[in-house]
Amino acid sequence: MIRSFASGCRSDLAGSTSRFASLRRSLRRRLAAVGRVALSVASVAALSLSATAQDQPEIPALTPAVQNGDWWMPRHEQKLAEKEQAEKIDLVWIGDSITHGWEGTGKKIWDEKFAPRHSLNLGYSGDRTEQVLWRLQHGEVEGIAPKGVVIMIGTNNTGHRQDPADQTAAGVRAIVAELRQRLPEAKILVLAIFPRGETTDDPLRRLNTDINALLAEMATEDDGDGDMISFLDINASFLADDGTLPKSIMPDLLHPNEAGYQKWAEAIEPAIVKLLGE
């Protein structure tokens, strides 16, 4: 079922807006929890119905693509080699510059907390959902059997193009479907996209919040085993009581500094323990 969704995602988008609205209302009625709960592949299909009508162009968030930067493909080749050279890989991290930053600003914390757990960092600065899809389809998780996968992706869909929330969410769901097909034994943890912008009224913050709401809204259903896919929102760990994002945590109001990476590591630790069965 998961594979058929991943291969048919674009054709599903041809459904009518009214059909999507009906499905969304049905999903809302069944919403029973927020936070770390099972994600639904059935919900993903319903979400993707809203993206375009049949005669509209393909949705970028769902169309696998490479980045244009001359550093990007060498990093892909490096990660393929790193994967092959590793004795074992138990935990895979997938994302954009924020995940990539575990190799820079967050390296000390990574080396203490996650490197000993045989982690592979597949974060690429500037990536959107479509680059992650391309990477998964070009070998980055081939031939490995991790216990867990952590995903956080989508803030560049917001920042680069202001993609509609439902399109970015559909891209995240397609990534989950790819992972379930390619790594059927791995537990998947989808993180809410981190806050950006100084205040809750920041337009890009609000768009990320809308994406996260869609992910949480779909979190009451799963493809059969609710223990394999989960969702976690740790954003409150970074914010002041009034919702302000402190520059002491994210100096550019987007990327964590070392203190921010420390907060991330602390907030996610219980979930990592569960992913790895520690």
Closest CA to 49 of 207, 205, 192, 173: 173
- Identify how many contiguous H helices and E strands the chain contains and give both numbers: 12, 5
Catalytic residue, chosen from 76, 90, 100, 255, is: 255
252 is catalytic: yes
Closest CA to 187 of 220, 221, 213, 151: 151
Q: 189 is written with which tokens? A: 């943890």
Catalytic residue, chosen from 55, 201, 241, 252, is: 252
Burial-class residue 50 by CB neighbours within 10 Å (0-12, 13-18, 19+): buried
97 is catalytic: yes
* H helix intervals, the chain: 2-7, 9-12, 17-30, 41-48, 72-85, 97-100, 107-113, 129-136, 155-156, 165-182, 203-217, 258-276
Alpha carbons 47 and 44: distance in angstroms, whole number: 5
Catalytic residue, chosen from 97, 118, 202, 210, is: 97
Alpha carbons 13 and 219: distance in angstroms, whole number: 20
Measured in degrees and rounded to the nearest 5, phi and psi for residue 196 equal -140, 160
List residues with catalytic annotation.
97, 252, 255
